[in-house]
Amino acid sequence: MSKMILLFSHTLTSEQKEDAQKCWGIDAFVSLPMELQKLWSSVPAELEEINSYLEPIQAFLMQELKPNDIVLIQGDFGATYAMVRLVKSLGARAMYATTKRNVVEKELDGKIVKTSVFEHVRFRKF
């Protein structure tokens, strides 16, 4: 069995957890420590380069990862790219979640309100 490290800014849904367990043999989900989660969730747009900014998260991954583990990576585009490269170089698997968007229209007080509902479909390898 293996674990899934969550390198993204959301909470896994029950459908995502079930899919990870069933399809990928995940038996544990590991969230980033709070201080690292704050870094990942708010990569400053003003930075010219982010390599040094990401070093604490990279150190965490290098310490935590085993070859059969999966890292679910979604976030800032450049940070995601850097982490996918790191995870692959360590022999682990980098993935992202795919969703289907369902648009629901309702009339509310004489106005049409559109709501997008995102439904988990699968995890896909980078």
Report yes or no: 75 and 40 within 8 Å, Cβ to Cβ: yes
Contacts of 38 (CB under 8 A, 6+ apart): none
Q: Each residue of 103-126: pLDDT tens digit? A: 989 999 999 999 988 899 999 999
When pLDDT is cut at 50, 70 and 90, the band that residue 46 belongs to is very high
Strand partners, 111: 108
Residue 20 backbone dihedrals phi, psi, to 5 degrees = -65, -40
Is the confidence at residue 5, as pLDDT, over 90?
Answer: yes
Is the confidence at residue 7, as pLDDT, over 80?
Answer: yes
Q: What is the pLDDT of residue 1?
A: 73
Q: Each residue of 62-91: pLDDT tens digit? A: 999 998 899 999 999 999 999 999 999 999
What residue segments make up the domains of the chain, in order of their start?
2-125
Q: What is the pLDDT of residue 95?
A: 97
Mean pLDDT of the region 21-45: 96
Structure pTM?
Answer: 0.86
| 26-31 β-sheet, strand order | 26-31, 2-7, 70-73, 93-108, 111-125
* 2-125 under CATH 1.10.1200, yes or no: no
When pLDDT is cut at 50, 70 and 90, the band that residue 29 belongs to is very high
Query: Between vectors from CA 40 to CA 15 and to CA 122, what angle results, nearest 5°?
Result: 25
Mean pLDDT of the region 12-33: 96
Distance between CA atoms of residues 81 and 113, nearest Å: 36
Contacts of 51 (CB under 8 A, 6+ apart): 82
Token pair for 124: 């896909």
Mean pLDDT of the region 5-25: 95
- Dihedral angle at the C-alpha atoms of 5, 124, 122, 104, nearest 10 degrees? 110
